[in-house]
Amino acid sequence: PPGRKVLIVYAHQEPKSLNGSLKRVAVEELSKQGCSVTVSDLYAMQFEPRATRNDIVGCLHNSEEFNYAVETWEAYKRGGLSSDVSEEQRKVQEADLLIFQFPLYWFSMPAIMKGWMDRVLVQGFAHEFPNCYDSGLLKNKLSLFSFTTGGSEEMYAKGGISGDIRYLLWPMQHGIMHFCGVKVLAPHICFAPEYVSEEKRKEMLNAWAQRLKTIWKEEPINCSPEWYFK
């Protein structure tokens, strides 16, 4: 619907890749609906994945012993986080839907995207005990993990060599998004695009465009261990 805001956090080095095309399709389809779409292209931005002292501007809360979680929490409260972090937080704050677009690396997201999670989802901004999971500070937002795999769908079946793909989604969807109160839509997975025909890759892009047409009508998944491990 017009006026909805979407942030696409995108991690791929090559615009001509399937990931690049999936990102482009999302921008086109959602813009066509009247949504305003922002893309954080992490490689193009040379986004810093490391959580360091540089993320805090000015004096430390405790200069004797550096504790990243405490220092960023304190810095967030006084508006003292580095500009690249606060810029991403602003984009997250404004978004109704967060789409994460990436190739699966070693059963997880690429380091540059994990670094985005590590640095942006600061205590005080995204969660603050006991305000986590259903009461996380980013409630009323939706998220969606859209990614490509190297292995085939059979490999990621429950009885397959890699185990159920849902096991891999547990740390990403549950441990990060749900922890911060964000509701999670079903993932969008393109299995083994490198091993299929050009025709099949076109179908993958088409399926994504189709899904996005009705994305705002979708219900979030059941955010409980059953969804992942039943």
Whether the CB-CB separation of 149 and 195 falls below 8 Å is answered with: no
- Distance between first and last Cα of the chain: 34
**Contacting residues for 102 by C-beta, under 8 A, at least 6 apart:** 10, 11, 12, 19, 109, 110, 113, 146, 147, 148
Q: How confident is the model at residue 89 (pLDDT cuts 50, 70, 90)?
A: very high
Mean pLDDT, to the nearest integer, of 13-17?
A: 97
Mean pLDDT, to the nearest integer, of 39-68?
A: 97
**Residue whose C-alpha is closest to residue 72's, from 85, 90, 91, 84:** 85
Residue 2 reports pLDDT greater than 90 = no
Query: How many CB atoms sit inside 10 A of residue 229's CB?
Result: 10
Q: In the prediction, which pLDDT does 178 show?
A: 98
Mean pLDDT, to the nearest integer, of 107-116?
A: 98
Residue 1 reports pLDDT greater than 80 = no
Domain range summary for the chain, segments of one domain joined by +: 5-229
Whether the CB-CB separation of 63 and 54 falls below 8 Å is answered with: no
Task: Enter the tokens of residue 203.
Answer: 């179908």
What is the rounded average pLDDT for all residues in the chain? 97
Mean pLDDT, to the nearest integer, of 47-63?
A: 97
Whether the CB-CB separation of 216 and 173 falls below 8 Å is answered with: no
**Residue whose C-alpha is closest to residue 120's, from 170, 167, 84:** 84
The residue type at 45: M
Mean pLDDT, to the nearest integer, of 104-117?
A: 98
Whether the CB-CB separation of 138 and 92 falls below 8 Å is answered with: yes
| Chain segment 198-208, per-residue pLDDT in tens | 999 999 999 99
| Chain segment 153-177, per-residue pLDDT in tens | 999 999 999 999 999 999 999 999 9
* CATH numeric code, 5-229: 3.40.50.360
Mean pLDDT, to the nearest integer, of 101-129?
A: 98
Residue 82 reports pLDDT greater than 80 = yes
Distance, CA of 123 to CA of 188 (rounded, Å): 28
Higher pLDDT, 225 or 2: 225
Percent of the chain with pLDDT over 70: 100
Residue 99 reports pLDDT greater than 80 = yes
| Chain segment 141-153, per-residue pLDDT in tens | 999 999 999 999 9
Distance, CA of 55 to CA of 161 (rounded, Å): 40
Residue 32 reports pLDDT greater than 90 = yes
